[in-house]
Amino acid sequence: MWIRKTDEELKIKPSKSSAVWLAEFLENPNFIVIFIFLLISLIIIYKFIGSGYKMHYLPPLSWKELLDYLPTIGFEAFAISLVIIVVSKIWTKKTKSYKNPVVCDSCNIIKEFDNVNQCLCGGKYISMDEMKWVDDDK
Ligand SMILES: [Zn+2]
């Protein structure tokens, strides 16, 4: 059955070090896909369209010049994919919080959070994060 965590247990929040966070991030398949996509797009832009803005316009590059610019292009692709992933992570986190599963502390029914905190059985719905599963006593 689901029971409420003790105050002690609630205090312990799984915290990730920034190194772990970054590692998970770079292992993220989305990141690699976005990075490769951006890298190819940027190479095409640098090669055929030219880049930069009015003041620092860079005309289309030869293949040799492109090679010199590759670290810059790689860095740009990396930076942009990083921003995209961070924004999408924050976004999914935001939308997720609305769909957090909740558990009735009395009859243990699980549902998605829908602003109704009172269960039909008279119990109260509590966020799954604040609950833990224990085996029934027999
Ligand atoms: Zn209930």
pLDDT tens-digit readout, 43-93: 898 888 887 666 677 788 888 888 888 898 899 999 999 898 888 878 877
Q: Are 65 and 105 members of one domain?
A: no
Give the structural domain span for 38: 18-98
Q: Are 77 and 30 members of one domain?
A: yes
pTM of this prediction? Answer: 0.52
Q: Residue 103: which pLDDT band, with cuts at 50, 70 and 90?
A: very high
Q: Amino acid identity of 38? A: L
Q: Are 36 and 92 members of one domain?
A: yes
Q: How far is the CA of 4 from the centre of ligand 1 (A)?
A: 14
Q: Are 87 and 118 members of one domain?
A: no
How confident is the model over 25-48, as pLDDT tens digits? 777 778 889 999 999 999 898 888
- Whether 58 maps to a domain, the answer reads yes
Q: Which residues, by Cβ under 5 Å, contact ligand 1, an ion? A: 104, 106-107, 119, 121, 123
Q: How far is the CA of 117 from the centre of ligand 1 (A)?
A: 10
Buried b / exposed e over 45-69, threshold 16 CB at 10 Å, is ebbeeebeeeeeeeeebeeeeeeeb
Whether the predicted pLDDT of 15 surpasses 80: no
CB-based contacts of 65-74 (< 8 A; 24+ apart in sequence): 73/39, 73/42, 73/43, 73/46, 74/39
Q: Are 90 and 69 members of one domain?
A: yes
Q: How far is the CA of 94 from the centre of ligand 1 (A)?
A: 27
Percent above pLDDT 70 for the chain:
87
